[in-house]
Structure 1
Amino acid sequence: MKSIYSKMLILAFMATSLYSYAWGLTGHRIIAEIAENHLSGKARKEIKKIMGRERLAYWANWPDFIKSDTTGAWKQASAWHYVNIDPQTDFKIFGQKLKGQAGPSLYTQVNVLSSQIKDEKTSEKDRKIALIFLIHIMGDLAQPLHVGRAEDLGGNKINVTYFGDKTNLHSVWDGKLVDSQKYSYTEYAALLDIKSDEEVKEIQKGALEDWLYDSHKIANTIYAQTPNDAKLSYDYQYKFNNTMERQLLYGGLRLAKWLNDLF
Structure 2
Amino acid sequence: MNGTAMAWGLTGHRIIAEIAQRHLTKKARKNLEKLIGRAPLAFWANWPDYIKSDTTDKWKQTGPWHYVDLPGHLDKADFIHDLEGLEGKNLYTQIPEMENLLKNKNLPLEQRQIALRFLIHFIGDLHQPLHVGRDEDAGGNKIKVTWFGKPTNLHTVWDSQLIDYQKWSYTEYATNIDTVDADEIEQIQSGSLEDWFYQSHALSDAIYDKTPDGARLSYNYNYLFFDRLNTQLLDGGLRLAKILNQILG
TM value normalised by structure 2: 0.96
Q: Are the aligned partners of 1:63 and 1:136 in contact in 2 as well (CA < 8 Å)?
A: yes
**RMSD over aligned Cα, in angstroms?**
1.1
Deviation at 1:121, TM superposition (A): 3.1
C-alpha displacement of 1:24: 0.6
Task: Indicate the SS of the match to 1:141.
Answer: helix
Figure out how many residues of one structure are paired with residues of the other and give that number: 245
- For 1:30-109, what aligned pairs fall within 5 Å after superposition? 30-109=15-94
Q: Secondary structure at the match of 2:96?
A: helix
Q: What pairs up with 1:213-228 in 2 under 5 angstroms?
A: 213-228=198-213
Q: Matched residue of 2:113: which SS?
A: helix
- Normalising by the residue count of structure 1, what TM-score does the alignment of the two structures yield? 0.91
TM-superposed CA distance for 1:20, in Å, is: 5.3
Identity rate, percent? 55
Moved more, 107-116 or 120-129: 120-129
> Equivalent of 1:185, from 156, 166, 170?
170
Runs of 4+ in 1 over 6 A off after TM superposition: none
Does structure 2 conserve the Cα–Cα contact (< 8 Å) formed by 1:20 and 1:171?
Answer: no
Pick from 174, 187, 194: which aligns with 1:202? 187
**Displacement of 1:157:** 0.6
Residue among 113, 122, 130 paired with 1:137? 122
* Correspondence 1:242 to 2:227: yes
Matched AA of 1:142: H
CA distance in 2, matches of 1:85, 1:258: 25
2:159 equivalent to 1:152? no
User: What is the aligned partner in structure 2 of residue 172 from structure 1?
Assistant: 157
How much does 1:26 deviate? 0.6
- Using a 3 Å threshold, how does the CA distance of structure 1 residues 156 and 85 change in structure 2: closer, same or farther? same
Counterpart residue number, 1:13: none
CA apart distance, 1:238:
0.8
Q: C-alpha distance in 2, partners of 1:244/1:117?
A: 29
Aligned residues of 1:91 and 1:213 also touching (Cα < 8 A): yes
1:118 is aligned, of 88, 96, 103, to 103
3-state DSSP of counterpart to 1:166: strand
